[in-house]
């Protein structure tokens, strides 16, 4: 690899040729602050927070886009640089809603931190005209408060480049510039898929999920309600970040303890329903292969992906598995099988889900998601909302003991745990489908070819005398690329897994937010995924069909995978939507 030698603040640094000053500084353990920059997503040098001095340059340069050259001398901390950054922040704040105490991002806001670091005073120098925007609350999963927007364009970049949707962008010009939808439509009237990736990258409180924690607290305090909580696998791999633990720390036991202390009547694991999903989905796949059904079969666990397919690929809805997502399956089986078993009235049951995903807030209101004639899931909150609940009641999370989920809907296998990462659903399904097809136990249940955080992965497995072609995509721009190859005939697959968020649920729009300084130089999704693969490897049961609680459900209630009763409770339908219809 060709390298370049430069000096940064008098320190000799050797960096790969083609690096930017920002990247080279990182090698010297110097963090240059940024606001608009997101590596490979939003490299526009617009905010001017990352400016530095370069010997021979006529003015300060944006380090995030300025390439290094041999012999270059750079200074990141001169009075001129620090003064420029401070002035830029003061100008941003001159048209910013500074209600920090009531902001959901207070204490975790990148703009707030920079102002503290650079000693920006409360008494601002640049008072004058102010813009005012009505808060857009039209979408079911989030709100947009442009009074707190700093026009960094991270949200529009991730929506366009990573998700391939582009329903938001810069409108108007100059002082009137605003990030909004085409023709100033409310977000809820566009083909937004509720993925929440825009929220995940927003540096301020301009974008946030709708907070449903008040509804949860109200249910918990109602003596007539039986309140059950389920937690998705990806939540345990990220929740600890909200309490200062390293990225990728598995906090399952402490999470269960916290939920129990919040007052839930039962604390269950969505992983149980993930095992149930595999039983139904693997059966559906084998049925289509054997009986000439529509192929490729495409997974249906990601509600952001499902809504994307309904908007942009309505001609491929027959390819979708009819299985409900694990969240919805869990609610359905709880309010039918479990309610009957425990003599509970579904009308008085409140099912709360803790999800890494903002699209789950949309999913709970979808049609045909009410197996017991009441909603399968009543309230869906994000990982971030759960953290706020824990903080609100004063629980010392890191000091909590390790506790186990309740039985029987807390029992699961390693196959279910890996649902939280891209490739996990595919691998879990293969473990069951291959053993079902061959009638033999797998000597090794790991299908490593579909692992990893790449946007698109593919593999071929020779099973029972036939080649099974599979593919995995995460991030909707990658999904589009894969589906276009399928439609053109360039690729021929039997089974496809698609996750709406890059890297899968571990990188969902409802997960703990990490600042750009971390996102740009740390593979967050890989660290969180590692926690799930490690748990899978250490579990005594690693295949969904081995789960004794799942066997019991089929024996006592559902009869067999794909039965009429299973279809009534665990399967759903889809809706063809226009590109402009929410």
Residue with tokens 């089986």: 333
Q: Give kind and range of the element (H or E) at residue 456.
A: strand 456-463
At residue 520, the pLDDT reads 95
The CATH fold of domain 3-77: Ubiquitin-like (UB roll) (3.10.20)
Give 186-243 as a 3 state SS string: CHHHCCCCCCCHHHHHCCCCCEEECCCHHHHHHHHCCCCCEEEEEECHHHHCCHHHHH
Mean pLDDT taken over the chain: 96
Helix axes 270-291 and 326-333, enclosed angle (nearest 10): 110
State how far the Cα of 269 lies from the Cα of 261, in Å rounded to an integer.
16
Residues 63, 138 contacting (CB under 8 angstroms): no
- Note the pLDDT tens digit of each residue in 353-391: 999 999 999 999 999 999 999 999 999 999 999 999 999
The CATH fold of domain 214-570: Rossmann fold (3.40.50)
- Note the pLDDT tens digit of each residue in 2-25: 999 999 999 999 999 999 999 999
- Low-confidence residues of the chain, pLDDT below 50? 582
Reduced to 3 states, what is the DSSP secondary structure of residue 295?
A: coil
Residues 507, 394 contacting (CB under 8 angstroms): no
At residue 518, the pLDDT reads 96
Q: Give kind and range of the element (H or E) at residue 470.
A: strand 466-474
Residue with tokens 């952001």: 304
At residue 125, the pLDDT reads 76
pTM of the model: 0.96
Residue 291, Cβ neighbours under 10 Å: how many? Answer: 7
At residue 479, the pLDDT reads 98
Domain positions in the chain: 3-77, 93-209, 214-570
At residue 582, the pLDDT reads 47
State how far the Cα of 543 lies from the Cα of 531, in Å rounded to an integer.
18
Residues 212, 352 contacting (CB under 8 angstroms): no
At residue 580, the pLDDT reads 61
Would you state the CATH architecture of domain 93-209? 2-Layer Sandwich (3.30)
């Amino acid at each position: 690899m060709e390298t370049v030698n430069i000096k940064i603040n008098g320190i000799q640094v050797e960096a790969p040729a083609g690096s930017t000053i920002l990247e080279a500084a990182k090698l010297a353990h110097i963090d240059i602050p940024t606001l608009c920059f997101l590596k490979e997503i939003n490299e526009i040098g617009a905010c001017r927070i990352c400016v530095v001095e370069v010997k021979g340059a006529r003015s300060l340069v944006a380090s995030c886009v300025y390439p290094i050259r041999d012999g270059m001398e750079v200074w990141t901390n001169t009075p001129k640089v620090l003064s420029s950054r401070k002035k830029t922040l003061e100008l941003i704040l001159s048209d910013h809603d500074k209600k920090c105490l009531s902001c959901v991002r207070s204490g975790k806001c990148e703009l707030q931190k920079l102002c503290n670091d650079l000693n920006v005073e409360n008494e601002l120098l640049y008072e004058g005209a102010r813009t005012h925007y009505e808060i857009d609350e039209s979408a079911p999963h989030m709100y947009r408060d442009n009074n707190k927007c700093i026009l960094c364009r991270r949200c529009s970049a991730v929506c366009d480049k990573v998700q391939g949707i582009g329903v938001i962008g810069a409108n108007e010009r100059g002082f009137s510039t605003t990030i909004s939808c085409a023709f100033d439509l409310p977000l809820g009237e566009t083909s937004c898929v509720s993925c929440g990736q825009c929220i995940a990258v927003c540096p301020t409180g301009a974008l946030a999920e709708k907070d449903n924690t008040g509804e949860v607290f109200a249910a918990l305090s109602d003596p007539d309600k039986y309140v059950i909580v389920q937690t998705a696998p990806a939540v345990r791999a990220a929740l600890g970040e909200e309490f200062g633990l390293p990225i990728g720390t598995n906090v399952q036991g402490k999470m269960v303890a916290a939920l129990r202390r919040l007052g839930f009547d039962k604390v269950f694991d969505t992983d149980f329903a993930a095992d149930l999903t595999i039983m139904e989905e693997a059966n559906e796949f084998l049925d289509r292969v054997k009986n000439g059904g529509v192929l490729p079969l495409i997974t249906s666990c990601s509600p952001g992906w499902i809504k994307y397919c309904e908007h942009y690929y309505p001609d491929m809805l027959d390819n979708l598995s009819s299985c409900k997502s694990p969240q919805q399956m869990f609610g359905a089986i709880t309010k039918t099988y479990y309610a009957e078993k425990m003599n509970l009235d579904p009308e008085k049951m409140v099912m709360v889900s803790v999800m890494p995903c903002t699209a789950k807030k949309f999913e709970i209101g979808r049609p045909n998601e009410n197996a017991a004639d009441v909603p399968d899931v009543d309230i869906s909150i994000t990982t971030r909302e759960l953290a706020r609940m824990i903080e609100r009641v004063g629980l010392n999370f890191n000091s909590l003991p390790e506790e186990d989920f309740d039985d029987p809907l807390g029992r699961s296998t390693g196959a279910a745990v890996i649902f939280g990462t891209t490739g996990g659903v595919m691998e879990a399904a293969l473990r069951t489908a291959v053993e079902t097809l061959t009638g033999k136990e797998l000597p090794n249940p790991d299908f490593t070819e579909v692992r990893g955080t790449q946007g698109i992965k593919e593999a071929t497995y020779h099973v029972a005398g036939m080649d099974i072609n599979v593919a995995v995509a995460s991030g909707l721009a990658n999904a589009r690329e894969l589906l276009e190859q399928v439609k053109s005939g360039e690729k021929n697959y039997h089974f496809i897994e698609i996750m709406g968020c890059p890297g899968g649920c571990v990188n969902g729009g409802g997960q703990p937010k990490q600042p750009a300084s971390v996102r740009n130089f740390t593979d967050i999704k890989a660290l969180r995924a590692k926690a799930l693969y490690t748990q899978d490897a250490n579990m005594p049961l690693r295949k969904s069909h081995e789960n004794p609680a799942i066997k019991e459900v089929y024996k006592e209630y559902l009869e067999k995978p794909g039965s009429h009763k299973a279809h009534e409770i665990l399967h759903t339908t889809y809706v063809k939507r226009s590109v402009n219809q929410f």
